[in-house]
Structure 1
């Protein structure tokens, strides 16, 4: 008699059980050590034989085991996370520095958690900072170079290792920056050495550290040459404001040269000159600040001051890691800018 047997679960056409990822106990078994030893290897414990450490690392590689960051933070009480507090907006300088910070942090084995300030009010500052603290960041980089933000840092409700990105003050142990004063003096001196004596400065908005420092550099260099530095007009970093200011400056008694506090406003100035029938640099010279990627393609290519944002970002991370006890190579707190000479400035007629 033939008996029709029911298929067992294993033969009923069901897919095989999905293989799981290796865990710390699998690594321990493969390496012939305890799981505590594997944990010590993951967290860089110094009191381990090199042969044991290598055996564990080989097992991790063979099993394609990757330590879970959250689990590791429970063991070490360190999150491997850096908090970055940034100002709202898409300004070239802060955006470039932020990208450099993320790259340098990744190289050092850290993740970056970013909180954006929706305004400069104290409430917005505390909310953004609170979110970073809730995410257990180990340290903080403040990339919000407005004076109002920097004042609030004095009254931080929490104490974290911290780096601020702004012009260096002798009384500030946290600050790193590009030397804005030196950069403004380079731009102004270049125009003076070309023979200009009637120079206007288009400044950035009030309340920004960079605006204030570039004004100071412009005035300092003009004073060294015994010249008046009162012709300063305030913009808002946009090319639209540069265009509007250019129309005002050129309406009556135009200067022979303009130092713009950023390249975008310099672009607007160049547009305004064209509308007035003035040629750059034959009739009026223009120098910018930042060296945005498009500056070399302005018409004419823009002479400007280059800030090394990549280097600034690397130094921010290095100084923060030093405060966290991570051995890194020390670096100066101030990045020195350089003048990039192109075709937008020439001797006055």
Structure 2
């Protein structure tokens, strides 16, 4: 078992924050607290219907804002649909919540450049999501030919300063699933950045050393990446240890240990090009534990605890706040949050599941004990 699959080690050394690092505060009976600017989640799936109502409070409790993914059934392809979905989210929020959903559009071969203008004028749509057709959950309506069919839309996105969020995998079934991110970078993403250097691009849920190197080779402020807790903590062994582990199955799939280490190094050394994006993706237990289980890991309730674990183990707690709270809004050109959240060094046990009307959802690290617990501050 690799070191980072263990529960957090006791007695880890605390590194005092720098000017913009987390500020330690004293609380009676608690070993250590960190005060952080309230984080945002720059990659979140909230689904709809009963599932939306079951999961939205977990994100709203910890995060100030979140970029909401548009891969519903049917997908959110228009500004009008994004506005309607936003209203559904707001209605499902707990009373007095100030959580702000930042909406996205689902890019298709047939999207019009005028839709990008409408999206910018709406004030509620903040990005467009590229799903290569067939790459992941509900991506069957995604793009089949980015340069041949979507170039006018991409050019309008440059004019409107609208970021493109990329699920970075090719979908050719002849390509090994563990090589699909690298090939996407080489054949699509690198040519795209060269062709449209003013287009802001976020490579979502990076999983490889190749992705880290690509992002770091690009101009800061033009290309960035979100990083999930699972790709920081787990490698592909986690899919099979103790039997097949369906709740560790996500897309892009977990990779080799060398890639996990590269991602940890990128985020914990303080690069401004990487920021928090959970890719929290709830599915009912029955659809995860079936012969053809869904891809996606539900991490919203535990994400901040897990990110803190990663930074503590790397001796980089002073870099945590920038990753969780500063780099994302700075890239999007949005103000940083002004409220605070507390991370306490206090053990808590992750529930085995969360029940809702139609079934139950199993969270990441279900049943395990974590050592950092987030809470709001008065």
TM range (shorter): 0.3 to 0.5
Indicate the structure whose relative CO is greater, using CA pairs within 8 Å and at least 6 residues apart: 2
Structure number with greater Rg is 1
TM-score scaled to structure 2, two decimals? 0.30
TM-score scaled to structure 1, two decimals? 0.32
